[in-house]
Structure 1
Amino acid sequence: MVSATSYLASLMVFSIVLISIVSGKMGMTVAKVSHQNALAIDLIQCDTTMGCNPYAGDTDCNTRLPVLCKQTDKSPRPAYAMTCTTDYAMPKEFYCGWTMGYIATTPKVAASTFSTIGDVDAYCTDAFGPGWVTAEFHDSRYIPGMNGATYANAQWTQWGASHGNNYPSGGWRYYSYGNVRNDTRFWMDINDQPTTCWSR
């Protein structure tokens, strides 16, 4: 027969384990919004109305989700039409930038598995090969006035060459080559907020 003391001790251990599973540090996650078959590009977004929170985190770090990974190869922007039509704190192009490369997602993993961003980068490299690292909130680049064919393809490259290849950095949402899954959110890095599950 189990004594009351043993039962209470077991219950306390179970409660501690349960708390550790559901109440860890919060990290930021993003989601795929759409895919354009003609250009082979995805739109990824941190949408606060859908739960993304880059300032406080939105998902417990013990949650198993794919990591969004990137490979930047300086690809010029394809001629996608601007869906961002309003200037906010930044020009509208800031919110519809181009990553100059590709994205892919890993198998699901608890973000608490990683101690540092280097560990997450290594996970992406292991999954997809050299040059693949963790996608970051500010990965996109833009040119003021870009839209459709304007500052796309060769014009994108020419503008960069005349500006020291220093394209302004965007944020919140961006386009990239790829066709990642759309049935789940993804872990993403953000380098200027304390809302990652890993340290820098």
Structure 2
Amino acid sequence: MPRVIVLVLTLLGILVIPLMLKKCTAPKTPPVAVAPSGAPLVPAANVPEPAGNKPIGYGLTFGLAPLEENDPKDVANMVCEAGDTDLERPYKGACNPNVGDTSCRIVLPVLCIKKGDLPRPGGLSGGGWTRGELGATQAVMGATLDSEMKANVMCERELGPGWRMATFADGGNYLDDQHYDHEARGEVWALQGRLGAGIGGNNRYWVHSQGQTANCWD
């Protein structure tokens, strides 16, 4: 019996000892650090530096004004006048197409237009007929409008092909300068068009002021 035990132990030693030696002498692979999600950690040297924060500026806005009693009811009447809104940087008490009037932190719809050749309705008061249809997007914080293209894409995505962000000039409006004063001429800055989707329920709308630093992407 003792011989059998010795023989078994000898055989186990012959089989186990080489395996243990091989394990001890094999090169060790360093462990890979992983994030909690299981994704490999990015080396600190390769982590991109955060982009500098661009100051949030101001954008041009127009407001929806009520129509006169005898005006056609299918018209959107957008005006520069402040109305009941306290604009942060008004120009002559109204909107500011030169440097913007409303902080781009504010959430407002984008005013959109689909240009056409619509005749001005008979009996319509006011000015700024655009010959097109006016609509609006869902309300967005102005600072998210980082380009004219992005605003145009929003209009087209929400309202359909042919739509883009409405501009100050779409209503035939001209900026004041040393030779021109719209108030002295008895003119008003406005945008009028056929009433489209999204207009109503909001006091002000983002409008593009071409060639001026009055847009949230400037």
Please give the residue correspondences for 1:134-153 in structure 2 after superposition, counting only pairs within 5 Å.
134-141=165-172
Look up the match of 1:172: 189
> CA-atom RMSD, angstroms?
2.6
Report how far residue 35 of structure 1 moved.
3.8
Point out which structure has higher relative CO (alpha carbons under 8 A, 6+ apart). 1
1:197 paired with 2:213, answer: no
Look up the match of 1:66: 109
Structure with max Cα Rg: 2
Report how far residue 107 of structure 1 moved.
0.8
- State how far apart, in whole Å, the 1-side matches of 2:156 and 2:57 are: 25
1:24 paired with 2:56, answer: yes
Give per-residue Cα distances to partners, 1:2-36, cap 9 Å, x unaligned: xxxxxxxxxxxxxxxxxx8xx72111111011246
CA contact (8 A) 1:30 1:44 kept: yes
Report how far residue 44 of structure 1 moved.
0.6
CA contact (8 A) 1:32 1:45 kept: yes
Letter in 1 for 2:110: V
Look up the match of 1:159: none
1:45 paired with 2:79, answer: yes
- State how far apart, in whole Å, the 2-side matches of 1:182 and 1:80 are: 25
- State how far apart, in whole Å, the 2-side matches of 1:79 and 1:39 are: 12
TM-score (norm 1): 0.62
**Number of equivalenced pairs:** 140
1:121 paired with 2:152, answer: yes
TM-score (norm 2): 0.57
CA contact (8 A) 2:56 2:216 kept: no
1:54 paired with 2:97, answer: yes
Report how far residue 119 of structure 1 moved.
0.9
2:118 pairs, out of 63, 72, 75, with 75
Query: Cα 1:129–1:63, aligned 2, differ >3 Å: closer, same or farther?
Result: same
Query: Cα 1:134–1:26, aligned 2, differ >3 Å: closer, same or farther?
Result: same
Letter in 2 for 1:79: G
Report how far residue 102 of structure 1 moved.
0.6
Q: Which runs of 5+ in 2 are unaligned?
A: 1-52, 88-94, 174-186
Identity rate of aligned residues, in percent?
A: 28
- State how far apart, in whole Å, the 2-side matches of 1:101 and 1:176 are: 5
Give per-residue Cα distances to partners, 1:88-124, cap 9 Å, x unaligned: xxxxxxxx12111111111110121122101110010
Letter in 2 for 1:62: R
Query: Cα 1:113–1:59, aligned 2, differ >3 Å: closer, same or farther?
Result: same
Letter in 1 for 2:207: M
- State how far apart, in whole Å, the 2-side matches of 1:55 and 1:193 are: 6
Letter in 2 for 1:54: P
The SS at the match of 2:98 is coil
- State how far apart, in whole Å, the 2-side matches of 1:115 and 1:183 are: 22
- State how far apart, in whole Å, the 2-side matches of 1:30 and 1:69 are: 12
CA contact (8 A) 1:46 1:172 kept: yes
Query: Cα 1:77–1:141, aligned 2, differ >3 Å: closer, same or farther?
Result: farther
